[in-house]
Copies of this chain bind each other. A is one copy, B any other.
Amino acid sequence: MLEIPILGLLSEAPMHGYELRKRLSTLLGAFRAFSYGSLYPSLRRLQEAGWIDEEPPVAEPAGGFGTRSRRGKRVYRLTAEGKEHFAALLAEVGPDAYDDEGFGTRLAFFAQTRSDIRLQILEGRKQRITEQADGLRSSLARTRERLDRYTLQLQEHGLESADREVRWLNELIETERRGPN
């Protein structure tokens, strides 16, 4: 779900759906694509759960100037419960924090995450990708000569990418260990 990214962005400032989407696209870019077809239902679910609510429209009385709250624009903000819930989400680690999407969204809000949790997530992700790389490596060693040129290229590129990510994670982990500020 879009739980973490939505709550995270709203924790910085109230915002409406369209803006939320723009920010999420640039924030997560490569890691996550999503559409209005998932954004608006998510907003409604989060609202039903009580984690976000809508800012009342500015009512725009006669002659009101300067108030640019366009009719139909729904501005969402984090509730107190939402704030708590978001903090709790950032403090828990599970297997879903290690897959592409979960890891990307968590990393995007690492600045608000406790250092020990950051470390756990990085280690878990590293283990996940390492396993993936080793699986590819051994499968490649077994079947290399049976593969055509293109399949081979595909697998080798995948393997190199995985290895590169492990190295990258190692750097992040080391930095984290050095200065858990």
Binding site for B on A (CB under 8 A): 26-27, 29-31, 104, 107-108, 110-111, 132, 135-136, 139, 143, 148-151, 153-155, 157-158, 160-162, 164-165, 168, 172
Contacts and interface: CB of A to CB of B under 8 A. Distances in A.
A154 B29 CA distance: 10
Complex copy number for this chain: 2
Given A31-B158, A161-B164, A153 B136 contact: no
Interface SS, A side: helix
Contact of A150 (B30, B108, B164): B108
A167 to B, nearest CB: 10
B139 A153 contact: no
Contacts of A160: 164
Contacts of A157: 165, 168
Nearest to A161: B161
A161 B151 CA distance: 20
Contacts of A155: 29
30 contacts: A26-B139, A26-B143, A27-B151, A29-B135, A29-B139, A29-B155, A29-B158, A30-B136, A30-B158, A30-B161, A30-B162, A31-B154, A31-B158, A107-B150, A107-B153, A108-B150, A108-B151, A108-B154, A110-B148, A110-B150, A111-B148, A111-B149, A111-B150, A111-B151, A153-B168, A157-B165, A157-B168, A160-B164, A161-B161, A161-B164
